[in-house]
Copies of this chain bind each other. A is one copy, B any other.
């Protein structure tokens, strides 16, 4: 936790928050902080600043908060991601949030197992929590918007063509013949398939609406590794 993230409900006065549970325990036990210490704080979807510990009790901590800056810049990248298996969904969302991705579309695909869509990890509450963990890691405050699309074709055919304007649209696909460029300017919309990749018919659908089908090498990487690799490559 490289920043303590605050929400409107934490405020007990104009510049004062009272925290309990996970954040209080982190401040007391992991950081080993005490009254008078100052910590990096941020207000979710707003700015960053300093929190001064006024009182650290057995269950709560109270901070006075002063904002003085902006969070790190967002990445001009929107992510279209075939729903990963539940085991790796959490850390993929946290990694995406930590890198500054602000819009994530989790989509269905032929090779996404139907059971993945029943995972309790897809609750809005969990997706928000994983995003917060990523932001806390990165020192950011801006939550990504996460959208679920349980049907491939209606999303890709009807919604995606509007979303891709005016971005460069890329589908990272094993075995594609065009190598991925590097260091692009301008906004990008990036699609990443499931384990095993999108099937050929799905790839064609992406191609038909304007996606470039690009390869990033002969290796098949896990989605959270591939995502960070691609972000490092593209920006």
Residues in A lying within 8 Å of B, measured CB to CB: 2, 72-73, 94-95, 98-100, 137-140, 182-183, 216-222, 224-234
Contact = CB atoms under 8 A, between A and B. Distances in A.
A229 B137 CA distance: 15
Contacts of A138: 219-221
A197 to B, nearest CB: 11
Contacts of A182: 182-183
Given A182-B182, A228-B229, A229-B99, A222 B72 contact: no
B99 A220 contact: no
Contacts of A2: 220
A219 B2 CA distance: 10
B139 A219 contact: yes
Nearest to A219: B138
B139 A99 contact: no
A166 to B, nearest CB: 24
Contacts of A218: 72-73, 139
Given A2-B220, A137-B221, A137-B222, 13 more contacts: A95-B222, A98-B221, A99-B221, A99-B225, A99-B229, A100-B219, A137-B220, A139-B219, A140-B219, A225-B228, A231-B232, A232-B232, A232-B234
A60 to B, nearest CB: 26
Contact of A231 (B100, B137, B139, B229): B229
A228 B232 contact: yes
A20 B201 CA distance: 36
